[in-house]
Amino acid sequence: MKVAVYGRKLSSVLIPYVEELFSEMDNAGFEVVVYEPFYSALKQHSSSSYNYNSFTSAHEIKGKVDFLFSVGGDGTILDTLSLVQESGTPVMGINTGRLGFLSSISKYQISKAIDSLQKGHYTLDVRTLLRLETNRTLFGEVNYALNELTIHKKDSSSMIIIHTYLNGEYLNSYWADGLIISTPTGSTGYSLSCGGPIIMPRSENFVITPIAPHNLNVRPIVVSDKNIVSLEVEGRSQYFLASLDSRSVTIDSSIQLAVRREEFPLNLVRLDNENFMGTLRNKLMWGLDSRN
């Protein structure tokens, strides 16, 4: 089995867990390639010696590995999207961050996770993506997101207006600080913080959630992801922010934006004892009743 390992940062506190990960993979006979900046940090901080091949870009591993290990938090999982792209390579998230909603495998479960991979005791959690289409290139080849597209005012002075259409038919003009179009995965992120609903991962929907709307009658709306959501942005300021997950660019009112469901998904590895409802309760404290 060939696996790739990706991480952003490596602190001294995490060294024992990362060393355990590589030790378990070696014992399992995995062929391992490591993201070069992460590998350099590991060799600098660890007392152990390693002799793995490394990679620096997506084309070196895309479609060439059986699994990709993401070592970090949920933001690191979002980074892996640009590495696996449309290859379908499953991503296993080892959570060394805080919440770990997507990176659901604890750093204390590393041995169990490797054993489960070997025995096939896991499932693939298939997550839909959204794709952004524009009249000018904004995000290069990686014009898709796992969580959301966000349109936001660039400065703190005045709200913006986002005219929104479904398949060319007028939906609404949002007077607000911004607008979020999220996938079911993204419904538990920024959209939820702005009053949006929680959507089950297998739902075929988008959630359109305004950010601090000026009109009290405007609420989040759930639409089918078979729709194409088109946006026109205007405001007193000349420039606005467009974000796909954690990547942001500055746009102006001449940019035409359209969101649709991406043709390929992201596959996340889940151990057999994991499920979305349990994650909601354990990570977000959903339904927690202090009377119990």
Question: Distance from CA of residue 69 to its chain's centroid?
Answer: 14
* CA–CA separation, 282 and 55 (whole Å): 35
Query: Greatest CA separation found in the chain?
Result: 62
* CA–CA separation, 73 and 9 (whole Å): 10
Residue 187's Cβ-count burial label (10 Å; 0-12, 13-18, 19+) is buried
Question: Which residue carries 């959301």 as its tokens?
Answer: 148
* Element at 114 (helix H, strand E): helix 110-119
**β pairing state of 178-182 and 169-176:** unpaired
Based on the residue annotation, tell me whether 74 is a catalytic residue of this protein: yes
Catalytic entry in 74, 125, 177, 245: 74
* CA–CA separation, 69 and 5 (whole Å): 5
Q: Which sequence positions are flagged as catalytic?
A: 74
